[in-house]
Structure 1
């Protein structure tokens, strides 16, 4: 799982702010919200001055104008005809509900590419400027009271264009990935700005309504639950709703030809799977195991934190990696059980308990990797100690401490996964009581359910719950530069 993108150009941003200050009169009193949240690896990512509570996205997706083909028999609409790039263009309206955390005179949204046709705040036209990946909104004075600290306000942005594929610092691709029959949107860590404007830092979670219209016979699959599906004039609109808070990097949209299946687990979790026909036969057995994996995970980590689950399986090669998109992970081809266990474990670690910054990535990947070790012990007769020893002997896991990747290009590298899992196991050994250890883990997921947490939050929580000073464990395994010795 490798995802990231550079920050906006500081000079361009300063010039845009200067233009706003010089060219706009009669604006709202206050100060502009910050253009970034100073994340350790992506300082320009996210925005200050407000907290998003809900996104309502209405998207119309289809081929570009140049790709549309005329009617084959003189009766069909051109937009229903097949195209070499059936999901190349997007027209969207984003309605963003947010609460001001300061008196705002202007604020920013993250958006890569795409053409902005206009914006309103509280129904009134607002000035819009662009600076790299920053969209700067300056409302008029008529809505001044709605932008006071603590007040809720609504912004509507109308936009269109051909969404971008973003290359991360490590060379992997995210954003809008075009496939043979459509596209899939992957957002970790910054790719969601390629298809909708927002506050794209993991610390700002929100609920979502996503309505997507696509030409038949394509299907649009997103997060949460399918609320409705309606067809008119050869186009179908799918309405997806995510009722629990979600970080924007976990939002997904898959457009293509899918075989879909809906069911429910014995305890009422709604399941929705969408599988590319080329991957269907090879995926069936593993996907049938989703209820069992969820039940097993709930015993280890606490109640499943969402009302729906499932999977999206693309054909091999449509993406470079699997991603734990909320409710239904995306797989780049038929997954094996270990990968399914890993991505479903992320529903607890990363999706419900979301990192405060990208420096806390090991809390996602360390626990998800440890879930693989636990599953192998319970189902494949591979003791956790054997998985630990294999990771310990792998030199790639010692390139840097899991809580301190040296750069944005390293946040998805081996130490974050393998050594992160070793931290979890060393904690288990230090507690020396499996019942107490799993109580601790379940307490962690309950305490920070649907919230954000940092590495400092985790270490403080563990020491408070255990009553132990674990400084040596953290120094050696979480922050240490060298490989600590282990007992024979």
Structure 2
């Protein structure tokens, strides 16, 4: 998912926020609970989806079905499947029989004729149709994008993170449950168009005289919001790069630009696989797909709409110039393949697990290409984007994410932990092991905290509390006391202790600062310089 910036006529102003439609929502409704909570009707494990739809561009209409294979985790006679209320439920078929159902907000409660036994695999097919919501400003609001490419042919895409995949197809729309055995995606489009979805294309066949069906197979678990279709006048090129199939689908008029711009995939993959481990969806290939919206981390089919510019539409989110050395969308959205797609938060409240880590991948890429100092400068520049409006962990069980600060503040938290450790070899090993330990899993913030506490052998609990659960920034107070300097933390949670790098008359040292006054003897505050590049802190000399 993307950071959002506002482009002014004369000035580019960075505003770190995110695409979630519930951002800053305070008054929760039953609809929020139905979407965000896990109750008895949702106590089943999805094993596989087979999504089979037809898209009629001129009518902005879709129709089709989803066959859901699932295993109840307790005896169930009623289950909840999610589909937006504006979409039609045509029928739900189980063992050749149409099931009865009721609808409440965007939830469909399906009644079965007998109790589904615990741990017994079962399946049913949900037929539906309708005109899906059209996004007004994708990808920051969810929906379909219907437009035309330079050829005059329809150009269609989906972007539904936050709004939910149930905006356009029926599923268990909760991040905690991904289909263990992947899914089949069959999309039927007019003959002159091409569909690009997740996974690998296994079959293309005519459907009547005017339509063609594209059958894509995803072998790995996949987030619901990552499931995508991209329909347009596409041309394809690609190669196998160091054992990884890389495929690129772009509008025909942009083929020459893409051949140049997408070369960045090679150094990016070298960097990310070195630092984070093997690309986590190798079986499903890696694709970049040109889209009419800016971008999204659609698993194995990364959406690209950065107009073949460096930076973020030609803008540097760090305001340092470093962000203009590389294509933000290629790097950020691919970083999500490790952080967000492979490792997914169970609840949307923990989306910092996606966005904080992925924003940090930007700095990792900078470090791989241009060195440590540029990476630190880039991260330092992102401090300007922290608003400290609300904590970056949201409210659980109501489909509510936290502050857009999850992007820069989450990355700055990770940079701080790296320098608390003060052992780069151990840091990179810890980060890579994290991606392998939780590969293809859904996680909670607590699991992430416990992992880093154990791996680093440092009590990071107060650090996580400070940066994730408050809007505070630690402030180092340096106070002159005769010939000594007194120092301590203010504006922190209790028991907050992190070392700070300082220089006294050019001589570097680390202070282990706590919430209690300590003394630096025979020193003057005017001779102290505090390194704020290695930790997300502020300081004041008094």
Q: Give the shorter-chain TM-score range.
A: 0.7 to 0.9
Say if 2:445 is the partner of 1:477: no
Distance in 2 of aligned mates of 1:415 and 1:265: 35
- Find the counterpart in structure 1 of residue 324 from structure 2: none
Rounded to whole Å, the distance in 2 between the matches of 1:281 and 1:478 is 44
1:294-353 CA distance string (max 9 Å, x none): 221010011111121111112xxx32x421010121122435423211111110000000
Contact preservation (8 Å) 2:391, 2:402? no
Specify whether residues 228 and 419 from structure 1 end up closer, same or farther in structure 2 by C-alpha distance, changes over 3 A only: same
Question: 5+ unaligned residues in a row in structure 1: which ranges?
Answer: 14-33, 64-84
Secondary structure in structure 1 of the residue aligned to 2:142: strand
Shift of 1:240: 0.5
Distance 1:292 1:237 in 2: 35
Q: TM-score, normalised by structure 1?
A: 0.81
Q: Which residue of 2 aligns with 1:3?
A: 19
Q: Deviations over 1:98-136 (max 9, x none)?
A: 111121111111101221111112333211222221112
Is 176-185 or 433-442 further displaced after alignment? 176-185
> Does the CA-based 8 Å contact 1:205-1:247 persist in structure 2?
yes
> Of residues 204, 208, 214 in structure 1, which corresponds to 2:183?
208
Q: Which residue of 2 aligns with 1:313?
A: 290
Q: CA deviation at 1:465?
A: 1.6
Secondary structure, aligned partner of 1:297? helix
Contact 2:186 2:214 in 1 (8 A): yes
Matched with 2:487 is: none
1:170-209 equivalence runs, <5 A: 172-180=140-148, 181-206=154-179, 207-209=182-184
> Contact 2:21 / 2:141 at 8 angstroms: preserved in 1?
no
CA deviation profile, 1:434-468 (whole Å, cap 9, x unmatched):
11111111111111111111111111111112222
> What aligned pairs does 1:67-86 form with structure 2 within 5 A after superposition?
85=58
Q: 1:442 aligns with which of 432, 437, 441?
A: 432
Aligned partner of residue 386 in structure 2, secondary structure? helix
Q: What is the CA-CA distance between 1:398 and the residue it aligns to?
A: 2.9
Could you give the per-residue CA deviations for residues 163-216 of structure 1, whole angstroms, max 9, x where no partner exists?
Answer: 123679x99321222122132111212331122100111111011100111111
Deviation at 1:242, TM superposition (A): 0.8
CA RMSD of aligned residues (A): 2.9
In the other structure, the counterpart of 2:37 is 38
CA distance in 2, matches of 1:95, 1:402: 36
Residue 230 (structure 2) pairs with residue 254 (structure 1)? yes
Structure number with larger C-alpha Rg = 2
Q: How many residues align?
A: 429
Q: In the alignment, what sits opposite 2:75? A: 103
Q: Deviations over 1:390-413 (max 9, x none)?
A: 223x16343333334899998485
CA contact (8 A) 2:349 2:396 kept: no
Q: Spell out the pairing of 1:455-470 with structure 2 (5 A cutoff).
A: 455-470=445-460
Instruction: Work out which of the residue numbers 364, 378, 386 in structure 2 matches 1:387.
Output: 378
**Equivalent residue number for residue 18 of structure 1:** none
CA contact (8 A) 1:400 1:406 kept: no
1:260-275 to structure 2, matched below 5 A, reads: 260-267=236-243, 269-275=244-250
Relative distance call for 1:90 and 1:266 in structure 2 (3 A) is same
Report the equivalent of 2:202.
Answer: 227
SS at match of 1:190: coil
**1:140 counterpart SS class:** strand
2:220 maps to 244
- Counterpart check, 1:344 vs 2:334: yes
Who is 2:122 aligned against?
153
Does 2:106 correspond to 1:129? no
Whether the 8 Å CA contact 1:322–1:332 is kept in 2: the answer is yes
Q: Distance in 2 between matches of 1:412 and 1:403?
A: 5
Alignment match, 1:218: 193
Pair 386,409 (structure 1): closer, same or farther in 2 beyond 3 Å = farther
**Distance in 1 of aligned mates of 2:162 and 2:51:** 20
| Cross-structure match for 1:24 | none
Query: What SS does the aligned partner of 2:462 have?
Result: helix
* 1:131–1:411 CA distance, 2 compared to 1 (3 A): closer
- Checking the alignment, whether the CA contact within 8 Å between 1:211 and 1:238 is kept in structure 2 is yes
CA distance in 2, matches of 1:187, 1:420: 23
Q: Is the 8 A contact 1:4 1:191 kept in 2?
A: no
C-alpha change, 1:366 and 1:229, in structure 2 (3 Å) is same
Secondary structure of the residue that 2:219 maps to in structure 1?
strand
User: How far is 1:149 from its partner?
Assistant: 1.3
Counterpart position of 2:314:
none
Rounded Cα–Cα distance in structure 1 between residues aligned with 2:191 and 2:67: 26
CA 1:417–1:277: 2 relative to 1, 3 Å: same
Q: Check 1:462–1:11 CA distance in 2 against 1; reply closer, same or farther (3 A cut).
A: closer
1:48 is aligned to 2:42: yes
The secondary structure found in structure 2 opposite 1:481 is: coil
d(CA) in 2 for partners of 1:128 and 1:469? 50
Tell me the distance in 2 between the aligned counterparts of 1:218 and 1:304: 30
Runs of 5+ consecutive residues of structure 2 not aligned to the other structure: 3-17, 149-153, 311-326, 476-499, 502-529, 531-542
* Deviation at residue 60 of structure 1 after TM alignment: 1.3
Structure 1 residues 408 and 385 mapped into 2: Cα distance closer, same or farther (>3 Å)?
Answer: farther
Alpha-carbon deviation of 1:422?
Answer: 0.4
Q: Which has the higher strand share?
A: 2
2:356 is aligned with 1:366: yes
